[in-house]
Chain A
Amino acid sequence: ETGVTQSPTHLIKTRGQQVTLRCSSQSGHNTVSWYQQALGQGPQFIFQYYREEENGRGNFPPRFSGLQFPNYSSELNVNALELDDSALYLCASSALLSGANVLTFGAGSRLTVL
């Protein structure tokens, strides 16, 4: 059974640029959630995808968008990057239909915005 994999692991961008982060969910999991974790803080919920549809969103602006594909993998896109977007972006998958909402996290993508 493979876990959650994310790419890239690290990247550096400049203000105003756009970034795409990718996530492959754990085998058997049909729900993907994205979290932003700033240094020294807890993970903050960005949004969740289930069956390729957004299924809940946190307090993040529209320039944060996502996709889920038929194989349950997912992308997080951030446009017009700001300095405060520098953080660890965590993808987590779960099997919502099983009745449990336990998250399996990937290792994260660390984004630095200069």
Chain B
Amino acid sequence: GQQVMQIPQYQHVQEGEDFTTYCNSSTTLSNIQWYKQRPGGHPVFLIQLVKSGEVKKQKRLTFQFGEAKKNSSLHITATQTTDVGTYFCAGPFFGNEKLTFGTGTRLTIIP
């Protein structure tokens, strides 16, 4: 079946260190979205990438969509305690508009 996997499942970093989560789809995605879910909260939209090879930045966050539109990454520079949460990628597979969420990467920060 069509799946979206993320690695790592968990990441513990010292405050100030960088963090990266990788998202891999079993089939081509028409676009990729990233969501953040704080502990006890609900997913909140961060960004959408549509074009092959696209790179977008939001302050300390850098998002990349792979050339084959099957993978993506989120990189956070100099993590802060406010970055704590689970980061999900999500994408609709071509021909199917529903968003399939990845398995998520849970980020914890050591002050």
Task: Enumerate chain A interface residues (CB-CB to B < 8 A).
Answer: 33, 35, 41-45, 48, 56, 58, 90, 96, 100-108
Number of residues from B at the complex interface, CB < 8 A: 19
CB of A54 to closest CB in B, whole Å = 12
What mask results when residues 47 to 80 of chain B are scored 1 for a CB within 8 Å of chain A, else 0?
0100000000000000000000000000000000
| Known A102-B48, A107-B41, A107-B42; 7 more pairs at CB < 8 Å | A33-B98, A48-B97, A56-B96, A58-B98, A101-B99, A102-B33, A103-B43
B98 touches A48 (CB 8 A): yes
Q: Closest B residue to A102 by CB, please name it.
A: B45
Q: What are the residues of chain A within 8 A of B104 when measuring CB–CB?
A: 41-42
Q: When the two chains form the complex, which single residue of A43, A102, A106 contacts B101, counting CB atoms closer than 8 Å?
A: A43
B48 touches A100 (CB 8 A): yes
B88 within 8 A of A: yes
What mask results when residues 16 to 30 of chain B are scored 1 for a CB within 8 Å of chain A, else 0?
000000000000000
B48 touches A105 (CB 8 A): no
Q: When the two chains form the complex, which single residue of B41, B43, B92, B102 contacts A101, counting CB atoms closer than 8 Å?
A: B92
Q: Closest B residue to A96 by CB, please name it.
A: B97
B44 within 8 A of A: yes
Most buried by B among A42, A44, A45, A101: A42
Decide: A105 near B99, CB < 8 A? Known: A42-B104, A100-B48. no
B44 touches A42 (CB 8 A): no
Decide: A43 near B45, CB < 8 A? Known: A48-B98, A56-B96, A102-B33. no
Distance in angstroms between the alpha carbons of A41 and B39 in the assembled complex? 13
Distance in angstroms between the alpha carbons of A35 and B37 in the assembled complex? 14
Q: When the two chains form the complex, which single residue of A56, A104, A108 contacts B98, counting CB atoms closer than 8 Å?
A: A56
What mask results when residues 70 to 111 of chain B are scored 1 for a CB within 8 Å of chain A, else 0?
000000000000000000100010001111111110000000
Decide: A33 near B42, CB < 8 A? Known: A42-B104, A43-B88, A101-B92. no
A42 touches B99 (CB 8 A): no
Decide: A42 near B45, CB < 8 A? Known: A56-B97, A101-B97, A102-B33. no
